[in-house]
């Protein structure tokens, strides 16, 4: 991981316009190679670990290439007094970036759009009846943004919820695909995302084969969408297996 991150460009500078113009047609060729050496249907190597935050009920840390995400889960705990009475539990999600997460140093933003997408992705998988009148809070922090941040956040959050002992129908795995010219590129990095014609993200429960979230942006034709969905679902089932082995490893270690 250290060697690979060393070879990959960690700092990106905007290229001059002439270089940009020259670089653009490369993506339309059928035999171009991705900058990190992956094939088109190949995901980045995944590093997953639970129990990263001591004070949280459950937590998880995920690395996908250069994307680094940490998620904490608190609760079930008492809802705020302003909330209305509810027979089922509540789920609050918050996704934020650190100031050093992006190449351009930012303010460290709370991302409202990502938070609502994460909420929609997770609430279909959680059995909310098991904790009535209480609230589960999910806090996701993107430590480094290396492309495909939102799918990594969603997968890491479901791992943290399982670590916290929240009852769920299934784990939630998420993968995204970018469309560049004629090619479908899975799990794109930041550079590929900046040149994409369209992107598609699928969040699904791999064991039950149900989709909890589907987000499509940009220009797509119908056969292309279908092909991208197949690609994503296959990658999600593989990612689900990796997540299960990570949870079993942690659970077995705590049993000893």
Which residues here bind another protein, judged by CB under 8 A? 57-58, 75-79, 81, 83-85, 87, 127, 130-134, 162-171, 205-208, 240, 243-244, 247-248, 250-252, 254-255
Total residues belonging to the chain:
256
| Rounded least distance, CB 165 to another protein, Å | 4
Nearest of 105, 50, 78 to residue 247 by alpha carbon: 50
90-97, strands of its sheet edge to edge: 46-50, 58-64, 67-78, 134-144, 90-97
Q: Which is nearer to another protein, 149 or 163 (CB)?
A: 163
Q: Which is nearer to another protein, 124 or 198 (CB)?
A: 124
| Rounded least distance, CB 141 to another protein, Å | 21
Nearest of 189, 240, 157 to residue 42 by alpha carbon: 189
Q: Which residue has the tokens 């129908």?
A: 169
| Rounded least distance, CB 117 to another protein, Å | 21
Q: Which is nearer to another protein, 196 or 250 (CB)?
A: 250
Q: Which is nearer to another protein, 117 or 162 (CB)?
A: 162
Q: Which residue has the tokens 């149900």?
A: 210
SS3 category, 109: coil
Q: How far is CA 122 from CA 5, 83, 104, 107, 180, in A?
A: 30, 20, 30, 27, 29
| Rounded least distance, CB 173 to another protein, Å | 10
Tokens at 58, concatenated: 């459950």
Nearest of 41, 10, 168 to residue 103 by alpha carbon: 10
SS3 category, 58: strand
Q: Give the distance between the most distant pair of CA atoms in the chain.
A: 61
| Rounded least distance, CB 41 to another protein, Å | 24
| Rounded least distance, CB 180 to another protein, Å | 33
Q: Which is nearer to another protein, 170 or 192 (CB)?
A: 170
Q: Which is nearer to another protein, 14 or 132 (CB)?
A: 132
């Amino acid at each position: 991981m250290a060697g690979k991150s060393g070879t990959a460009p960690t700092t990106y500078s905007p290229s001059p316009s002439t270089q940009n113009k020259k670089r653009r047609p490369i993506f339309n060729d059928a035999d171009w190679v991705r900058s990190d050496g992956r094939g088109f249907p190949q995901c980045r190597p995944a590093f997953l670990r639970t129990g990263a935050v001591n004070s949280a009920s459950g937590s998880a840390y995920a690395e996908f290439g250069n994307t680094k995400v940490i998620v904490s889960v608190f609760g079930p705990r008492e809802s705020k007094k302003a909330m209305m009475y509810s027979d089922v539990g509540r789920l609050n999600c918050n996704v934020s970036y650190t100031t050093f997460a992006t190449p351009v140093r930012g303010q460290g933003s709370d991302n409202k759009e990502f938070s609502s997408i994460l909420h929609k992705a997770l609430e279909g998988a959680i059995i909310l009846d098991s904790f009535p009148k209480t609230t589960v809070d999910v806090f996701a922090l993107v430590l480094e943004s290396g492309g495909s941040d939102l799918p990594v956040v969603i997968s890491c959050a479901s791992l943290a919820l399982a670590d916290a002992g929240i009852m769920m129908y299934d784990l939630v795995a998420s993968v995204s695909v970018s469309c560049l010219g004629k090619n479908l590129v899975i799990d794109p990095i930041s550079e590929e995302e900046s040149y994409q014609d369209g992107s598609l993200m699928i969040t699904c429960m791999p064991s039950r084969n149900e989709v909890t979230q589907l987000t499509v942006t940009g220009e797509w034709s119908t056969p292309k969408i279908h092909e991208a969905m197949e690609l994503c679902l296959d990658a999600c089932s593989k990612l689900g297996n990796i997540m299960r082995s990570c949870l079993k490893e942690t659970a077995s270690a705590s049993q000893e």
